Structure 1
C-alpha cells in the first residue's frame, strides 16, 4: 500500500514537470518537423520539375530550328542523327536515352493532330516518328521525358504516369522556311 509521502512526492514531481519549459521547443519541433520537411521537399521537387520542363522547352526550340531552317533536311538527317543532335544539347539534368523525339509533318495547320502520349492505364505510349517534311511544310516537333518523382506520399502526388513519374513534354509547331528558294 502506497504511503502518503510517496503520493505527495509523485504529485510534486508531476507539478515540477508541468512547470518546467526547458524541453518544450524540442517537443514542439518534433511535432511540426515531419510536416515542415514534407512540405519543403514537395516544394523543392515541384520547382525542379518545372525547371526541367523549361530546359526541355529550350532544347526543343533549339532542335526544331534545325528543321525549321532546312538544315536537317539538306543534310539528310535520319531519326538517329537528329536524336544525336538533340542529345548534344542535353544537360546533366536529363538522361539522353530517356528523351523521346517525335517529328511529324502535315500539309496544313488544320490537319495537325496532337495526341496524348499517356494511355488509360497511365503508361507512356511510344509511337515516335521522324518526318521533318520539306520546304513550307507544317511540322510539329515534340520532346518527351519521364521525370521521376520522389515525394509522392502524404497526399501530394503530381505523377501522371505509372511508377511515380511525371511526363514532361515540349512542343514546337511551325511552317518550314522555303530553304531551297521557294515553296512547292
Structure 2
C-alpha cells in the first residue's frame, strides 16, 4: 500500500510538471534567441559590407572622372604629388570604414589598345602585398584618348567575425574590396584649345 501511494504521488507530480507552463517563454527564448541574433547580425554585416563596397565604387568613379577629363593631368606637381592628391581624395570618402593607413591602394595605368588591356591580367595590388609590390604601384593618368584602368583595393575589417555570416577571408577578419573602372580619356586638350 505504501508503495502504491508513493508511486501515485510521483505520477501526479510528473503530470503536474508536464502541465505547468511557468518558464516556458524563457525556455523558448533561450532556444530561439541565438538563431534570431545570428540572423540579425548576419543581415547587418552583409548590408554594411555592401554599403562599404558601394562607397569604394563611388570613390573610384569620382577619381576616374578626374583622370578622364584631364583634370589630374593639368594639376601642378610631380606624378607622386598627383598620386598623393588622388589617394587623399579617395581616403576622405572611405576612411569612415576604419581609415586608410595600410588598407588602401590605388592604381592608374595606361594602355594603347583594348587588346593590351585584355592581355594584362595582373591582379590588383592590395595594402597587404609585399613592400616591393607596393613601391611599384602604377600611376600613369595618360594623355587624351588613351585607355586607362583605375583600380582601388580597400581592406575592409568585418564587424562580426564570430557571429553569423563570416565574410572574412580565411585566417583573418578582413576582406578585400576591389573596384575597377576602364575608360578612354576624353580629348581634353582639344576642348581646352577651342575655349582659348
**Superposition TM-score, scaled by structure 1 size:** 0.82
8 Å CA contact 1:117, 1:124 repeated in 2: no
Mark the runs of 5 or more structure 2 residues left unpaired by the alignment. Answer: 192-196
The 1:30–1:93 alpha-carbon spacing in structure 2 relative to 1, beyond 3 Å, is: same
List per-residue Cα deviations over 1:56-94 (Å, max 9, x = no partner): 111110111110001101114522122123223346235
* Residues 16-66 of structure 1, C-alpha deviations (whole Å, 9 max, x = no match): 111011321221110121122111101110111011101111111011111
Higher helix proportion (structure 1 or 2):
2
2:89 is aligned to 85
Matching residue of 1:16? 16
Q: Give the 3 Å change call, closer, same or farther, for CA 94–173 of structure 1 in structure 2.
A: farther
- Aligned partners of 1:140, 1:146: CA distance in 2, in Å? 20
Q: Distance in 2 between matches of 1:19 and 1:48?
A: 46
Q: In the alignment, which residue of structure 1 is the partner of 2:114?
A: 109
Tell me if structure 1 keeps the 8 A contact 2:64–2:181. Answer: yes
d(CA) in 2 for partners of 1:3 and 1:18?
23
1:99–1:144 CA contact under 8 A, matched in 2: yes
Q: Partners of 1:6 and 1:129 in 2: how far apart?
A: 88
Residues 18, 150 of structure 1: CA spacing in aligned structure 2 closer, same or farther, 3 A cutoff? same
> How many residues end up aligned between the 2 structures?
178
Q: Give 1:99's aligned residue.
A: 104
Please, what TM-score do these two structures have when normalized by structure 2?
0.77
